[in-house]
Amino acid sequence: MRLVIFGGSFNPPHKGHVSAARAVSKELKPDKLIVIPTFLPPHKALESGAPTPEQRLELCRLAFSGLPRLEVSDTEIARGGKSYTADTLRELRERYPDVELWLTVGTDMLRTLDSWYDAAYILRETKIAAVARDRGQMNLLRQKAGELRRTHRASVEIIEAKPFPAASTDIRRNLRNRGGLRLLGERVYAEIVRKRLYGVRVNLQWLRRRGYAMVRPNRVMHVRGCEEEAVRLAVQWGADPDKAAEAAILHDCTKKDPPEEQLRLCEKYGMIPDEVEINAGGRLLHAKTGAGVAAAEFGMDEDVVSAIRWHTTGKPDMTLLEKIIYMADYIEPTRNFPGVEKLRKLAYQDLDRALLLGLEMSRDEIVARGETPHVHTLTAIRWLQESLRA
């Protein structure tokens, strides 16, 4: 039985790691390849605010899912303490006494391997599979492999595969600047966004792709228009344009869901719909459930979640971002109804008066349909009327 070990901090696990695992599997054809994220790397300190070991373990499970004969193991995390490779190999040797053990390393790891804790045991008990991150490292790999063979009688195999340049340090930095997506698997990036790991600021192109997929095709133009309008209003009134874009992209993310699904989502996110919301079906409930999805599935901060929550009924004493999303939804370029041009012009002159007019128009439209306006709309109107008279 041939067992290949692939260890590291995987902080985060990226496409380069997955490419290396595929190359090693193709070359060595192991019976099992075990990915083992460290609990505490002995050779480097994790950055402050780094994901927990358990979070990195989950990211690894997402990154490597689907690869044949591959297992992601919590061996080092369960053991705790500094994650010395020699200790892990001893543990695996006890568990699999008769296997042919291989250890996968990159260029940097191979260059320092003979200085690791109990390196003699590692080089005696395992065969080494060395994988280059880029083609410029191949000569370094060959030189170090030759040295280890001469001085330690080590068994070192150079995996001649097309390298996939990727550095976790660069990815972490790029994640904070709305980048990093290209080098991460879709499920890994989605989990990083959901848990807001690495101080990630979500890539807006990715968010649009996800958001558009959640609405009916004929509503995508409205969502685009809402984002454009929200960003313009944010610039006009001094709000954060990025937060305005995020809220606008997701504001209708559950609107296509039928009433029964809306109620299920309310229950899932601990929300209690009132009678008017239930009777109105998705027209009102989607604001609540969309806010729940934005928080739980996209890790949006409270400002953005609240703007989504109140974009249909409004409420008294709305924040600047809440006002902007309410108005952007109302006056975005695809909207065409009597009075919309007046409302658009006013939104860039006096946001509160535009909000009041919009709420009043919404109330009148609901009454004309023979329905009951939501109490939040009525109290928002009264609050603005009193505020503007003061």
Full set of structural domains in the chain with CATH: 2-169 (3.40.50.620), 202-389 (1.10.3210.10)
Residue 137 has pLDDT above 80, yes or no: no
What pLDDT, on a 0 to 100 scale, did the predictor assign at position 16? 92
Q: What is the pTM of this model?
A: 0.93
pLDDT tens digits, residue range 227-276? 999 999 999 999 999 999 999 999 999 999 999 999 999 999 999 999 99
Q: How does residue 222 score in pLDDT terms, banded at 50, 70 and 90?
A: very high
pLDDT band with cut points at 50, 70 and 90 for residue 133: confident
pLDDT on residue 304: 98
Q: Give the DSSP letter of residue 337.
A: -
Whole-number pLDDT of residue 356 = 98
What is the side-by-side strand order in the sheet with 70-72?
Answer: 70-72, 32-37, 2-8, 100-106, 127-131, 156-158
- CA distances in angstroms from 155 to 124, 144, 149, listed in the order given: 9, 12, 6
pLDDT at 44: 75
Nearest to 128 by CA among 164, 136, 147: 147
pLDDT of residue 64: 97
- Tell me how far apart the terminal alpha carbons of the chain are, to the nearest angstrom: 81
